[in-house]
């Protein structure tokens, strides 16, 4: 029990370091075109990728976090709650991810209400697949999130400008997707 309390204390201390200043302007990326859009993305990438995860991914702290959340002990109830469209269930924020054509839930996300800067993504049978760390103004805008695999490898980085506009970078930042109102409007490769 003491180890578990220590892990959560370290998480809370680590989360205080998430409140970093980030690229914060009122540019409407959907109105930018050509080189202006690419230059904006290059500046944004430089700013976002200059901030690393608050936890050393090779540390015992990160490994314990993964081990503690490796299997969702309440996965049956959480799966059905997410599938039914619940946004809150048993002290967690919850959300389901569905296939676009058949509307089948293939993954769900849990965010502990007492620690909203970390989100855990589980597959349909409750095994941890990814972990997100939120930075900046979260849950207000703008903020960015870094998604890691359970092995500690960066999977993607998401910059949320507002409720309607997000920019998703691949793991090395070389490709950016611009999403507006839930739809991909542009994909730009070879960002310098």
What value, to the nearest 5°, has the Cα angle with vertex 94 and ends 93 and 97? Answer: 150
> What is the Cα–Cα distance from 95 to 121, expressed in whole angstroms?
9
- Residue-level pLDDT at 55: 56
Residues sharing a CB contact under 8 Å with residue 33, sequence separation 6 or more, in sequence order: none
Q: What pTM does this model have?
A: 0.80
Give residue limits of the domains in the chain.
Answer: 2-70+127-188
For the chain, which residues score pLDDT lower than 70? 1-25, 51-58
pLDDT in tens, 125-142: 999 999 999 988 899 999
pLDDT score of 23: 54
pLDDT in tens, 150-178: 888 889 999 999 999 999 999 999 999 99
Question: To 10 degrees, the CA torsion angle through 75, 80, 86, 89?
Answer: -40
């Amino acid at each position: 029990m003491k180890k578990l309390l220590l892990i959560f204390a370290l998480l809370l201390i680590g989360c205080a370091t998430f409140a970093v200043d980030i690229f914060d302007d009122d540019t409407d990326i959907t109105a930018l075109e050509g080189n202006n859009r690419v230059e904006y993305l290059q500046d944004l990438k430089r700013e976002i990728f200059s901030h690393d995860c608050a936890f050393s991914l090779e540390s015992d702290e990160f490994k314990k976090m993964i081990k503690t959340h490796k299997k969702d002990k309440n996965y049956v109830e959480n799966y059905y709650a997410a599938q039914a469209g619940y946004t809150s269930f048993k002290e967690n924020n919850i959300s389901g991810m569905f296939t676009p054509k058949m509307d089948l839930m293939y993954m769900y996300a849990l965010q502990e209400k007492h620690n909203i800067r970390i989100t855990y993504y589980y597959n349909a049978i409750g095994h941890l697949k990814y972990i997100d760390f939120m930075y900046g103004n979260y849950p207000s805008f703008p903020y960015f999130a870094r998604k890691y695999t359970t092995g500690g490898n960066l999977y993607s980085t998401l910059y949320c400008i507002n409720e309607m506009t997000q920019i998703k970078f691949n793991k090395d930042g070389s490709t950016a997707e611009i999403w507006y109102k839930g739809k991909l409007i542009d994909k730009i490769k070879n960002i310098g």
